[in-house]
Amino acid sequence: MQEEDLSQGPDESAAVATATSAPNAPRPTQTELPAPATYTPGPTLTPVEATATPVPSEPTATAEPWYGEFEGTFYRGSPSAPVRLIDYSDFL
């Protein structure tokens, strides 16, 4: 029985055949750079007036009312309001 010489590695002709059959698409780093922008905006013809910065409102000293129903549901605001904001949390 003869032993094969495996020190040279696999048959290199098969590797060459597969490498040459692959399409020659450019790699993402080999793409061309886009052309530089040619449009530069001109200066504003009329001066623009500065707008007034809104002053932050002070927090109110009175808290909004909260109430709870018998079932344990808590609401915020007036109990007689047509719309209720339900306080829902998984951490209660």
Q: pLDDT (tens digit, 9 = 90+) per residue, 27-72?
A: 667 667 777 778 777 777 777 777 788 777 777 667 777 777 777 7
Chain position carrying tokens 């094969």: 4
pTM above 0.85, yes or no: no
Q: Which residues are 41's β-sheet partners?
A: none
Beta carbons of 70 and 63 less than 8 angstroms apart: no
DSSP letter (8 states) at residue 29: G
Q: Give the separation between CA 74 and CA 84, rounded to whole angstroms.
A: 10
Query: So what's the pLDDT on residue 72?
Result: 74
